[in-house]
Amino acid sequence: MSKTKFGEYGGQYVPESLMQPLKDLEQAYEKAKNDDAFKEEYNYYIKEYVGGPSPLYYAKNFTKHLGGAKIYLKREDLNHTGAHKINNVLGQLLLAKRMGKKKIIAETGAGQHGVATATGAALFGMKCTVFMGTEDMERQQLNVFKMEMLGATVRPALSGTKTLKDATNEAIREWVRTVEDTFYVIGSVVGPHPYPTMVRDFQRIIGDETKKAILEKEGRLPDMIIACVGGGSNAAGMFYSFLEEKEVKLIGVEAAGLGLDTPLHAATFAKGKKGIIHGMKTYLIQDNDGNIYPVYSISAGLDYPGVGPEHSYLFDTKRANYVSVTDKEAIKALYLLSQKEGIIPALESAHAVAYAMKIVPKMGKDKIVVINISGRGDKDMHTISNLKKDDGEN
Amino acid sequence: MNRITKVFDNLKKEGKTAFIGYITSGDPTIKRTEDLVYALQEGGADIIELGIPYSDPLADGKVIQSAALRAFENEIKVDDIFKCVQNIRVKTEVPLLFLVYYNTIFSMGNEVFSKKCKKVGIDGLIVPDLPLEERDELKKFTDEDNICLIPLVAPTSKSRVKDIAKNSKGFIYCVSSMGVTGTRDSFNDNIVEYLQEIKKQTDLPIAIGFGIRDKKTVDFFSKHVDGVIVGSAIVQVVKKTNGDVKKVKEFVKELSGK
């Protein structure tokens, strides 16, 4: 396997202007990765600033309610800024600092990665610009406000469909112009090499912590791990630590939106084919001419037409299975977990919970399932409250 | 011999620089695209680049992005563009290149796309998101079909230029400065050194593009390169005149001085 690819996926499908800078980045990252001082600094911030390691919580009530396998929740929702995103942002910003780059750009969809990047930039005294589609700015005004409060500039992305994919295009275009003094903080396991690998490495702390905690609590590995997949960073970080342990089933949950029989979904593996987006080869939802049109999910974090290239590889090799759940199922799961455990998951994570609701009752009581609660639901209250009450409650 | 190579050879003998003009296919309509190609040629374009509209054009600035959106408003399909080229090829031998993003090619299939290009008479492909490290998967087919896969070099390429130029044919597309397509107010002071550095590393003709918009700039670069590429500036005139063939021709004539 080439170093830049996972099987045939990934690579560096970017303008030539970015190739040398990507090589410089790769080199700097390899050096940092093998440097104990870098690891120490990263771990310091994860512990003291993010509040890690996040708990692996035994969801007793939820387990009892579903009446099957024992359920543990990996509580990334308890992290500072409310999701797993900060793990990656801190890693990349510490790298930017080592490379002497003081200007930071990022893309954001719903604003979670943008807020995390703005937070890290404030912490390290960096100048931060976040690209966000105008459609998303309208829908997520609170996050725009937050980013500005943290001292970041939010640049409206007006091109194309004015959502995450276009914000990413704009960020890449800006990076091509400013690459010599600017670090681009990508928010998921996507983009050209080395990003998918680097982001996964910064997120593998999720899987490493889970493994350690479950061995402490149960003395054995779980039978199944469930995580939601948009670009796929929380799932990639969680799965990576378990790839060699074939007895652990890995399940990625995509957004089926209004249903796979409608055009309104973001289920890349169910409905996409191989293609190129944002510098990588991967599965992609596209038309017959290869054009990429907006996808849909109630959860802005899953609303992405592509998927990280490592997931495409895990999909083809069947090391992980990918399933999808609809908006409705996710909302139902969000209500149920809130009411049984007092934990309101993000709509993204609620997709993983929804799949657990389908599979866990069919599993024996001696089985163990871990669900990655990648983020908390605060950001989604506005979306949920706009829905009719009878749509969600069971 | 490929038409592109022939044109550069002939111009070199005459001591002239190639003028390469770009328009986006389907802007304002695919029917007009055919007439605009003739207009460019009559205006003095030695080589013509046809953009294939794409939903996510990473290397393009606002002007060419909006040209693609205008083409999409008429529901342009890639097959319409191939048909258009087929019609053009009956009437002219001017070298034609596609400026095309890799997913357009990949989704059709690299081999199929290359064969179609050969069939309709496309001479070269410029694929802005297919750098050296990834190009072999397409190049094996374009080489077979005698289509030039035009390599791009950028100010950050430096020691990469030699490898990029190796095994290439047609010409080297030198990106004038960092950033996307579209006009710039000025160029870096080191631009002549940058071009000379590239010349040292290859025997292929070199052409400069990105941000060249007026006669003065064309003339300046003509002294240092074998070809000058103008895109956004022409597309801007196409937009303003809604594809007026006469006005576009006049504009190109003024720039090319031919």
Q: What is the CA radius of gyration of chain B?
A: 17
Measured at the CA of A248, the angle between CA A244 and CA A252, to 5 degrees, comes to 100
According to the model, what pLDDT value does residue A392 have? 46
* CA-based nearest residue in chain B for residue A172: B58
According to the model, what pLDDT value does residue B186 have? 81
Cβ-Cβ contacts under 8 Å between A and B: the total is 122
What confidence category does residue A393 fall into, taking pLDDT thresholds of 50, 70 and 90?
A: very low
How does pLDDT run across A11-68, given as a tens digit for each residue? 999 999 999 999 999 999 999 999 999 999 999 999 999 999 999 999 999 999 999 9
Q: Which helix (H) or strand (E) holds B216?
A: helix B215-222
Query: Could you tell me if B130 lies within 8 Å of chain A, comparing CB atoms?
Result: yes
Characterize the bridge pairing of strands B18-24 and A103-108: unpaired
- The CATH number linked to B246 is 3.20.20.70
Chain-chain contact of B178 with A13 (C-beta, under 8 angstroms): no
Q: Where are the beta strands (DSSP E) in chain A?
A: 5-6, 9-10, 56-58, 70-75, 103-108, 127-133, 153-157, 182-185, 224-228, 249-257, 273-277, 280-284, 320-326, 368-373
Q: Which residues contact B234 (CB under 8 A, 6 or more apart)?
A: B21, B22, B23, B40, B248, B251, B252
User: Which residues of A are catalytic, by number?
Assistant: 85, 107, 374
Q: Strand, helix or coil at A27?
A: helix
pLDDT at residue A389 is higher than 60: no
- What distance in Å separates residue A165's CA from the closest CA in chain B? 8
- CA–CA separation, A170 vs B69, rounded Å? 16
Chain-chain contact of B58 with A173 (C-beta, under 8 angstroms): yes
pLDDT at residue A240 is higher than 80: yes
- CA–CA separation, A352 vs A370, rounded Å? 10
Query: Could you tell me if A21 lies within 8 Å of chain B, comparing CB atoms?
Result: yes
What confidence category does residue A394 fall into, taking pLDDT thresholds of 50, 70 and 90?
A: very low
User: What does the DSSP assignment read for B6-69?
Assistant: HHHHHHHHHT-PEEEEEEETTSS-HHHHHHHHHHHHHTT-SEEEEEPP-S--TT--HHHHHHHH
pLDDT at residue A390 is higher than 70: no
Chain-chain contact of A291 with B55 (C-beta, under 8 angstroms): yes
In a domain, B147, yes or no: yes
User: Which residues of B are catalytic, by number?
Assistant: 49, 60
pLDDT at residue A342 is higher than 80: yes
- What distance in Å separates residue A250's CA from the closest CA in chain B? 29
Q: Where are the beta strands (DSSP E) in A86-238?
A: 103-108, 127-133, 153-157, 182-185, 224-228
- What distance in Å separates residue A46's CA from the closest CA in chain B? 34
* ipTM for the complex shown: 0.97
- Supply the range of the domain harboring residue B235: 3-253
In a domain, B246, yes or no: yes
- Residue ranges for chain B with pLDDT beneath 70: none
Helix axes B136-144, B110-120, angle to 10 degrees: 30
In a domain, B77, yes or no: yes
- CA–CA separation, B117 vs B142, rounded Å? 9
In a domain, B183, yes or no: yes
In a domain, B64, yes or no: yes
Query: Could you tell me if B150 lies within 8 Å of chain A, comparing CB atoms?
Result: no
Chain-chain contact of A13 with B65 (C-beta, under 8 angstroms): no
> Among candidates A189, A222, A170, A182, which has minimal Cα distance to A311?
A189
Q: What is the mean pLDDT of chain A?
A: 95
What confidence category does residue A391 fall into, taking pLDDT thresholds of 50, 70 and 90?
A: low
> Among candidates A198, A199, A168, which has minimal Cα distance to A85?
A199
Q: Is the peptide bond before A156 cis (omega within 30 degrees of 0)?
A: no
In a domain, B126, yes or no: yes
What confidence category does residue A140 fall into, taking pLDDT thresholds of 50, 70 and 90?
A: confident
> Is residue A191 within 8 Å of residue A132, measured between CB atoms?
no
> Is residue A147 within 8 Å of residue A114, measured between CB atoms?
yes
Chain-chain contact of A13 with B158 (C-beta, under 8 angstroms): no
How does pLDDT run across A208-219, given as a tens digit for each residue? 999 999 999 999
pTM listed for this prediction: 0.96
In a domain, B198, yes or no: yes
How does pLDDT run across B19-60, given as a tens digit for each residue? 999 999 999 999 999 999 999 999 999 999 999 999 999 999
- Number of domains present in the structure of chain B: 1
Query: Could you tell me if B186 lies within 8 Å of chain A, comparing CB atoms?
Result: no
Q: Which amino acid is at A240?
A: Y
In a domain, B258, yes or no: no
* Residue A55 CB-density burial (10 A; 0-12 exposed, 13-18 middle, 19+ buried): middle
According to the model, what pLDDT value does residue A75 have? 98
Mean pLDDT of A95-123: 96
- Among B59, B77, B160, the residue with its CB nearest the CB of A20 is B160
How does pLDDT run across A298-327, given as a tens digit for each residue? 998 899 999 999 999 999 999 999 999 999
